């Protein structure tokens, strides 16, 4: 059974697309996982004897499995291939010869050193799509810099550090925004290239830098700094009283987002403070200055009720806003249950589906995928389905 057979009754726009995942750790796994959720047949090529190191990332659950592996490799099949040997390299080249997409995330030049020349392979098969995901790209002074997610984040202005007793403390983080944004950009680029191929055009070799994806996310600051020829940071711009956080009575922060006149009026009337309406400057979206006095008034109002009360008021009054939730708080909400992003019974590894919800079938991309594979679990199946042989190599 293919890793995505269980979802074949749903909407699977990438059904029939063969994706060879040569990656290690997170970026390639995230990328190929998004393609698997859309119906692609993803085969994960892993180096013996232990496979992808993503399987080793702690903390472990009671079954000694890594949550990184169990969260990112649903719907895939695994085959062990030792690319350091002639036999393994030949097998890999055979698999590439029938693949529609190859995803890899080694430093530039790694695969050429191991006898896999993607430029030459694409000359032979122009329809082949290769996505090379790296921390800093195939070119540039940092191209050779090894990377994990957080050092991309550090160099991309997205790593948050807390200071405790005068010392920096990052804490443990499973989420790297470089990995996340890089994978989303990679999946988008691959999908676009597949459209080109299916329309009779050529494939492409995609140079996907996770750092580039991070830098792109700072587009407002980049645009302003370039236009004014002056360093610009949104962190240094004054915060707006109508678009800021306030402390509720349960000591949880609550965000108010009443920038437009209609939202501000509804909020002021809701709290019985029509006298505050005049603070809005009357423009379509307010970013006024000198709002210290207004901020004091709003702080007093928010301190009167708990955060969950404010959320309900925002819903009742039709005003943007809400508490600042961490993951445990998110999982405790009825909205989390209704949206069904995660499916599975307590005590079991769940499927964390994608943000893509198919309205027509009332389902999510990624629901119903087969569990993440054990190392080399599908060798015979892959050789049979892709190379039409059941021989063990």
pLDDT in tens, 107-124: 988 999 999 999 999 999
In a domain, 233, yes or no: no
Report which DSSP code applies to 55.
Answer: G
Residues 67, 202 within the same domain: yes
Claim to verify: residue 100 and residue 194 sit in the same structural domain: yes
Banded pLDDT at 163 (limits 50, 70, 90) = confident
Per-residue pLDDT for 60 more than 60? yes
287 in Cβ contact with 237 (< 8 Å): no
Using only C-alpha atoms, the chain has a radius of gyration, in whole angstroms, of: 25
Are residue 50 and residue 194 in the same domain, yes or no? yes
The answer to whether residues 148 and 95 belong to one domain is: yes
d(CA 89, CA 233): 49
Phi-psi region of 229 (alpha: psi -120 to 50; beta: other; left: phi over 0): left
**pLDDT, tens digit (0-9, with 9 covering 90-100), for 351-389:** 999 999 999 888 899 998 999 999 999 999 999 999 998
CATH of the domain at 281: 3.30.1540.10
Q: Is the pLDDT of residue 145 over 60?
A: yes
The model's pLDDT over 189-244, given as tens digits with 9 standing for 90+, comes to: 999 999 999 999 999 999 999 999 999 999 999 999 999 998 887 776 667 899 99
Q: By residue range, what is the domain housing residue 181? A: 5-217+356-387
Q: How far apart are CA 198 and CA 219, in angstroms?
A: 32
DSSP three-state, residue 73: coil
- 97 shares a domain with 205: yes
Q: Is a pLDDT exceeding 80 seen at residue 289?
A: no
- For tokens 């007093």, the residue is 300
Q: What are the backbone dihedrals phi and psi of residue 373, each rounded to the nearest 5 degrees, phi first?
A: -80, 155
Give the pairing type, strands 357-358 and 321-323: unpaired
In a domain, 393, yes or no: no
E-state strands within the chain: 18-21, 41-46, 76-80, 101-104, 129-134, 162-164, 167-169, 205-209, 243-247, 253-257, 321-323, 342-343, 351-352, 357-358, 363-364
Residue 301: pLDDT over 80: yes
| Residue 240: strand pairing partners | 243
The verdict on 184 and 92 lying in the same domain is: yes
Q: Which of 156-165, 182-191, 268-277 has the lowest mean pLDDT?
A: 156-165
303 is a domain residue: yes
Residues 213 and 255 in one domain: no
309: confidence class by pLDDT, cuts 50, 70, 90: very high
CATH number of 60's domain: 3.40.50.10540
Examine residue 74 and state whether it is found in any structural domain, yes or no: yes
Whether 213 and 247 share a structural domain:
no
Q: Do 195 and 129 touch, CB atoms closer than 8 A?
A: no
Residue 186, in any domain of the structure = yes
SS3 240: strand
pLDDT in the model for residue 283:
81
Supply 229's token pair.
Answer: 């020829």
Q: List the single range of 227-241, 265-279, 294-308 with lowest mean pLDDT.
A: 227-241
Residues 57 and 190 in one domain: yes
Q: Taking 50 as the threshold, does the pLDDT of residue 393 lie above it?
A: no
Q: Within this chain, do residues 270 and 209 fall inside the same structural domain, yes or no?
A: no
Q: Number of helices and strands (H, E) in the chain? A: 15, 15
Q: How many CB atoms lie within 10 A of CB 234?
A: 10
Per-residue pLDDT tens for 16-30?
999 999 999 999 999
Please give the DSSP secondary-structure letter assigned to residue 271. Answer: T
Is 119 part of a structural domain of the chain? yes
Of the segments 325-334, 339-348, 361-370, which one has the largest average pLDDT value?
325-334
Q: How many domains are there within the chain?
A: 2
Give every CB contact of residue 135 below 8 A, 6+ residues apart in sequence.
142, 145, 146, 147, 151, 152, 178, 209, 210, 211
CB 10 within 8 A of CB 367: yes
For residue 291, what pLDDT band results from cuts at 50, 70 and 90?
Answer: confident
Same structural domain for residues 366 and 320?
Answer: no
Indicate if the pLDDT at residue 8 is higher than 60. Answer: no
Q: Kindly report the backbone phi and psi dihedral angles of residue 61, in degrees, each rounded to the nearest multiple of 5, phi listed first.
A: -85, -175
The pLDDT > 90 percentage for the chain reads: 80
9 compared with 188, residue with greater pLDDT? 188
Q: At 191, phi and psi to the nearest 5?
A: -60, -40
Of the candidates 174, 47, 31, 187, which has an alpha carbon nearest to the alpha carbon of residue 105? 31
In-domain check, residue 333: no
Compute the residue count for the chain: 393
Check residue 251 and give its pLDDT: 98
Q: Which H helix or E strand runs over 211?
A: helix 210-217
Cα–Cα distance measured from residue 363 to residue 37, given in angstroms and rounded to the nearest whole number: 12
Which is it for strands 129-134 and 205-209: parallel, antiparallel or unpaired?
A: parallel
Residues 29-59 pLDDT 10s? 999 999 999 999 999 999 999 999 999 998 8
Rounded to 10°, the helix 210-217/177-198 angle is 100
The pLDDT confidence band at residue 313, using thresholds 50, 70 and 90, is very high
Would residue 274 count as lying in a domain?
A: yes
Report the DSSP pairing between strands 321-323 and 101-104.
unpaired
Residues 212 and 260 in one domain: no
Q: 304 vs 58, which has greater pLDDT?
A: 304
C-alpha 180/C-alpha 175 separation (Å) is: 7
Q: Domain end: 306, 324, 342, which one?
A: 324
């Amino acid at each position: 059974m293919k890793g995505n057979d269980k979802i074949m009754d749903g909407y699977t726009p990438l059904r029939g697309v063969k994706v060879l995942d040569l990656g290690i750790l997170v970026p390639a796994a995230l990328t190929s996982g998004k393609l698997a959720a859309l119906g692609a047949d993803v085969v994960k090529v892993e180096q013996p004897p232990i496979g992808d190191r993503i399987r080793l990332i702690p903390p472990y659950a009671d079954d000694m499995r890594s949550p990184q592996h169990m969260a990112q490799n649903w719907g895939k099949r695994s085959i062990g291939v030792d690319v350091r040997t002639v036999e393994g390299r030949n097998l890999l080249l055979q698999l590439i010869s029938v693949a529609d997409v190859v995803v890899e995330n080694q430093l530039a030049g790694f695969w050429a050193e191991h006898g896999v020349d993607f430029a030459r392979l694409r000359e032979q098969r122009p329809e082949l799509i290769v996505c090379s995901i790296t921390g800093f790209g195939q070119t540039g002074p940092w191209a050779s810099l090894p990377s994990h997610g957080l050092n991309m984040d550090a160099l991309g202005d997205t790593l948050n550090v807390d200071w405790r007793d005068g010392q920096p403390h990052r804490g443990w983080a499973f989420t790297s925004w470089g990995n996340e944004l890089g994978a989303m950009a990679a999946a988008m680029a691959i999908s676009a290239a597949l459209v080109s191929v299916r329309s009779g055009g050529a494939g492409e070799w995609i140079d996907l830098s996770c750092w580039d994806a991070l830098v792109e996310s700072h587009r407002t600051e980049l645009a302003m700094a370039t236009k004014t020829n002056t360093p610009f940071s949104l962190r240094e711009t004054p915060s707006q009283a109508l678009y800021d956080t306030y402390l509720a009575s349960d000591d949880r922060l609550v965000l108010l987002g009443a920038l437009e006149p209609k939202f501000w009026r509804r909020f002021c009337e809701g709290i019985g403070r029509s006298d505050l309406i005049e603070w809005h400057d009357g423009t379509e979206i307010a970013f006024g200055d000198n709002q210290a006095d207004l901020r004091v008034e709003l702080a007093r109002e928010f301190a009167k009720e708990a955060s969950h009360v404010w959320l309900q008021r925002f819903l009742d009054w039709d005003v943007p806003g809400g508490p600042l939730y961490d993951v445990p708080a998110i999982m405790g909400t009825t909205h989390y249950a209704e949206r069904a992003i995660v499916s599975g019974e307590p005590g079991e590894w769940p499927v964390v589906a994608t943000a893509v919800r198919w309205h027509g079938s009332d389902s999510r991309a990624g629901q119903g995928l087969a569990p993440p594979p054990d190392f080399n679990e599908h060798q015979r199946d892959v050789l049979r389905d892709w190379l039409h042989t059941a021989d063990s190599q």
